Amino acid sequence: MPKVKFLLVILVAVWLAGCTPEYNWRELSVAQDRAVVMFPSRVQTEQRKLQVKGIDLAFSLTSAAVDQSVFSVGYAALSPSLEPVQLEQLVQAFVTALAARVGQDPTTPALAGEIFELESVVAGQPSRLLGKVLIHRGMLIQVVVSGPKKSLSKEHAVEFMRSLVLR
């Protein structure tokens, strides 16, 4: 009888482990309430000072991880005195930095607000990065999801990217 109880406990534990969702989507306001995004797990936010193209930014990064994949939204308030050409340069600089992160050089200029995909090999694993960089109501917003292809499905990556709603 004790063996049967033990086996039942093991079966219940395995069943419960199978019911634990890897992705637990939750809506979160980001970029000082200028956008809403669905994150797949708990988030954490970090802040740091950056200088990009001679422009000082207080950059915040809100991110969540599932397995080896990272889902993030970075944002920084922009000075209203910036010229349109400076805004375009900022967007391109952020796209270039993302491409460099995966060892690629962007061959075409980034279109503000367009989703782009980069593929690479990280730690010997084929990986993907989807990104989007835009300016909205005085805020630079960068949405990125990256991870190994074996654990980051294209569907989850696209779902995260499309969940961005600007306010």
pLDDT (tens digit, 9 = 90+) per residue, 27-47? 999 999 999 999 999 999 999
pLDDT score of 150 more than 80: yes
Domain ranges of the chain: 23-166
Cα(141)–Cα(126) distance, integer angstroms: 27
Instruction: Please tell me which residue, 50 or 123, carries the higher pLDDT value.
Output: 50
Q: Please write the tens of the pLDDT for every residue from 92-109.
A: 899 888 888 777 766 555
Joined together, the tokens standing for residue 2 give 């004790």
Distance CA 35, CA 56 (A): 22
23-166 CATH fold? Protein Transport Mog1p; Chain A (3.40.1000)
Residue closest to 80 by CA, chosen among 34, 139, 134, 142 = 139
Tell me the per-residue pLDDT of 54-76, one tens digit each, with 9 for 90 and over: 999 999 999 999 999 999 999 99
